Amino acid sequence: MIFKKKWNEKNPFRRLKEGLAKTRANFIGGIDKVIGGRRKIDEELLEELEETFILADLGIHTVSDILDGLREGAKREKIREEADVKNYLKKSMLEILNQADSELDTSTSSPFVILVIGVNGSGKTTTIGKLAVKFVNDNKKVILAAGDTFRAAAIEQLEIWGERAGVDVIKSKSGADPSAVIFDAIQAVKARNADILIADTAGRLHTKTNLMEELKKIKRVMDKGLPGAPHEVMLVLDATTGQNGTSQAALFNESLSLTGLVLTKLDGTAKGGVIINIVKELGIPVRYIGIGEGIDDLREFNAAQFVDALFEE
């Protein structure tokens, strides 16, 4: 069955490069356009670079840090030409992203409970499905909880993924109390000796405080059913939202103390630079990135690989 196949790690780097093509064209292409053919790193050139970085959604703090470094390097004549600028950028970006390079380790608790949150359409359910397949392939016993009880379609979508991955889905009727569904799921995980529970949630807009209250309640209920749970509070962010993603993540973090991020739809955006901004502002590990709709397109985040994929010709 097509969905049961292993994550295809053949040519993972090429796929990553393809997935980041739009961001690369915008960001690296933008730099090339500014620097190409120019000889001197002067103030005018730095200002043009600044604009490119801002348009690539790097974020204001990162941009000013990078410019300071470039200015300093140019003054000391360490940065003289295009290749020096790119090397410097690559190094600075890697330094930032390295802070976020920390794999999700589900062996720290058994069962291990993952609470997946994020606004509507960010890719939560799809990510959960892909993760379920991945964990099953790693010989883990996985259970999914249909905590998005807002719409019947949301429950059905998770059930389809459950079938693909060959795992049980704990659900209730649409409109049911999500905390009750999640409490049932915690009981099921204990009774069935599962290794991992992944809980889906509804994602109505973060500006409505009741979503945060609902999610906090789910967290409390998890801890009541299994002290210490959830072990991972994973925010799924749609990279195409650009700068908005940073403020979204900050709001969720404030209320729910995030432990990990998933950045989806990097393949559909030229604004992939936003990952730098989010990491710089929040310092939360990026567990996975989504570079397409296929099962293999959810990738473990690797800072060095990510930066190489962006900069490599």
Ligand X SMILES: Nc1nc2c(ncn2[C@@H]2O[C@H](COP(=O)(O)OP(=O)(O)O)[C@@H](O)[C@H]2O)c(=O)[nH]1
Chain contacts with Mg ion (rule: CB under 5 A): 124-125, 154
**Which stretch in 25-33, 39-47, 124-132, 245-253 sits in contact with ligand X by CB under 6 A?**
124-132
We find the least distance from the C-beta atom of residue 200 to Mg ion, in angstroms, to be 6
Q: Which is nearer to Mg ion, 147 or 230 (CB)?
A: 147
Nearer to ligand X, 70 or 132 (CB): 132
**Binding residues among 12-51 for ligand X as defined by CB under 6 A:** none
- Residue 122 in contact with ligand X, rule: CB under 6 A: yes
Q: Which one among 99, 120, 137, 243 touches ligand X, defined by CB under 6 A? A: 120
Whose Cβ is closer to ligand X: residue 231's or residue 265's?
265
- The listed partner (Mg ion, ligand X, none) that binds 308, CB under 5 to 8 Å by sort, is none
Residue 287 touches ligand X, criterion: CB under 6 A: no
Q: Does 245 bind ligand X (CB under 6 A)?
A: no
Q: Which stretch binds ligand X (CB under 6 A): 6-14, 107-115, 170-178, 287-295?
A: 287-295
Q: Write down how long the chain is.
A: 313
Residue 111: is the preceding peptide bond cis (ω within 30°)? yes
Q: Which is nearer to ligand X, 52 or 157 (CB)?
A: 157
The residue of the chain with the least Cβ separation from ligand X equals 290
Does the footprint of ligand X cover residue 118 (CB under 6 A)?
yes
Contact of residue 214 among Mg ion, ligand X, none (CB under 5-8 Å per partner type): none
* DSSP state string for the chain: -GGGSPP--SSHHHHHHHHTHHHHHHHHHHHHHHHTT-----HHHHHHHHHHHHHTT--HHHHHHHHHHHHHHHHTTS--SHHHHHHHHHHHHHHHHHTT-----GGGSSSEEEEEE-STTSSHHHHHHHHHHHHHHTT--EEEEEE--S-HHHHHHHHHHHHHHT-EEE---TTS-HHHHHHHHHHHHHHTT-SEEEEEE----TTSHHHHHHHHHHHHHHHHHSTT--SEEEEEEEGGGTHHHHHHHHHHHHHH---EEEEE-GGG-S-TTHHHHHHHHH---EEEEE-SSSGGGEEE--HHHHHHHHH--
Q: Which range in 119-127, 162-170, 188-196, 247-255 contacts ligand X by CB under 6 A?
A: 119-127
Nearer to Mg ion, 89 or 154 (CB): 154
Q: Which residues bind ligand X (CB under 6 A)?
A: 118, 120-126, 203, 236, 264-265, 267-268, 290-293, 297
